[in-house]
Structure formats: structure tokens, C-alpha cells
């Protein structure tokens, strides 16, 4: 997998150093985190398409072979948050190289701490795997709320190339 594509206007790469000060995730009441199974792929794609709404991932039939065939894809690094009705409320799809590729929370589930819990969970998993940092890419204008969350969790801007 090549490095993230060159930045678009207002894109930023953020990094969290995985030191001993990591706080564990706190899952909101009525939501549980579970691991990814292949049967979840369509629901994950549907969530990502709804949240990002830019068509960049294309149809499921193109997206899933591209994602599942990527050398950095590890199903154990895809974390799903399920609501009390069994619906997918949020997800973090991470690459094995300690990169959060996609973090998405369904609009109806926002404001409950799901994104924070997901990112904290990713930090802890990557530390256990021996990573010294975790990176992600976001946009400072389109995702201003997310940028504030990431900064509050100790993520700092780094050079685009990492």
C-alpha cells in the first residue's frame, strides 16, 4: 500500500506517540465494541459511504477486494461498535503499519464518545503490537470536530510523509 495520497487543501497528518500515559477506552452505555468478521464488510462499506459521502471508495464490489487484498489489511485491526439494536454505529479500520485509515461514526450515534473510545482502543492495540506511534490523516476544515478530538487525545501534526 502506498503512503496516503498527497494532501488535498487543508489535509493534515496527525501522530500519537504511544507512551505509558494511554487511557483505556470507555464505551458509551448501550454500545459494545467487537471485532470484524468478513460478513461485516458490506455494513462497514455502507457506514463509510454514508459518513464520508464523497464516493471515493467506489462500489462495494470494487472496495472490498481492494481493502481485503491490501498487504496492510488485518481484520483484527478493524473495530466495530454495535448499538443495542445490533446496528453498526461506528468503526475504525486500521492498517497494520499503525495507521488509522478510516474512523467513522453514524450520524445518529454521534456525540456519545464512540469516536474517542475507538481511537483510544486503536492506540492501546497498536502499543500492545509494539508500535511507538499511530498516525492518521484528516481534513482541518471538513473534519474540524475530529481534529479537536485528536488533538485533545495528544495527537500532533507531523510531516505529510510521516
- Provide mean pLDDT across the span 95-105: 96
Q: What angle do CA 80, 36, 58 make, to 5 degrees?
A: 85
Assigned domain for 18 exists: yes
141, part of any domain = yes
Lowest mean pLDDT segment, chosen from 27-31, 88-92, 104-108, 156-160:
156-160
**pLDDT computed for residue 1 by the predictor:** 43
pTM, entire model: 0.92
What is the rounded average pLDDT of the residues 38-49? 96
Q: By mean pLDDT, which of 77-91, 121-135, 140-154 is the weakest? A: 140-154
Work out the burial of residue 117: count CB atoms within 10 Å of its CB; fewer than 13 is exposed, 13-18 middle, 19 or more buried: buried
- For the chain, give the percent of residues with pLDDT over 90: 82
The residue that leads in pLDDT, 58 or 112, is 112
Q: Domain count of the chain?
A: 1
Domain range for 107 is 11-158
Residue 26: inside a domain: yes
Order of all β-strands in the sheet with 133-139? 31-35, 73-83, 88-95, 99-105, 133-139, 11-17, 156-158
pLDDT digits (tens, 9 = 90+) for 3-23: 555 578 889 999 999 987 899
pLDDT for position 55: 64
Does 85 map to a domain?
Answer: yes
**CATH number of domain containing 23:** 3.40.630.30
Residue 5 placed within a domain = no
Partner residues linked to 16 by β-bridges: 134
Per-residue pLDDT at 98 exceeds 70: yes
Cα(102)–Cα(44) distance, rounded to whole angstroms?
Answer: 10
Whether residue 144 is predicted with pLDDT greater than 80 in this model: the reply is yes
Mean pLDDT, all residues of the chain: 92
Predicted pLDDT of residue 82: 98
Flag whether pLDDT at 96 surpasses 70.
yes
Q: Which residues pair with 157 in a beta bridge?
A: 14
Residue bearing the bigger pLDDT, 161 or 73: 73
Domain assignment present for residue 4? The answer is no
Residue 6 in any domain: the answer is no
Task: Kindly state whether residue 45 falls inside one of the protein's structural domains.
Answer: yes
Amino acid at each position: 500500500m502506498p503512503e496516503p495520497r498527497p494532501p488535498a487543501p487543508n489535509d493534515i497528518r496527525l501522530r500519537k506517540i504511544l507512551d505509558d500515559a494511554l487511557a483505556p477506552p470507555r464505551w458509551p452505555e448501550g454500545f459494545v465494541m467487537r471485532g470484524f468478521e468478513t460478513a461485516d464488510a458490506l455494513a462497514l462499506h455502507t457506514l463509510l459511504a454514508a459518513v464520508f459521502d464523497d464516493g471515493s471508495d467506489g462500489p462495494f464490489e470494487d472496495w472490498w477486494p481492494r481493502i481485503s487484498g491490501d498487504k496492510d489489511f488485518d481484520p483484527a485491526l478493524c473495530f466495530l461498535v454495535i448499538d443495542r439494536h445490533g446496528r453498526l454505529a461506528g468503526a475504525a479500520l486500521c492498517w497494520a503499519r499503525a495507521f488509522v485509515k478510516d474512523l467513522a461514526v453514524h450520524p445518529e450515534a454521534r456525540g456519545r464518545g464512540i469516536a474517542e473510545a475507538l481511537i483510544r482502543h486503536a492506540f492501546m492495540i497498536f502499543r500492545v503490537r509494539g508500535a511507538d506511534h499511530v498516525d492518521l490523516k484528516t481534513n482541518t476544515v471538513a473534519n474540524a470536530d475530529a481534529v479537536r478530538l485528536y488533538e485533545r487525545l495528544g495527537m500532533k501534526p507531523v510531516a505529510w510523509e510521516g
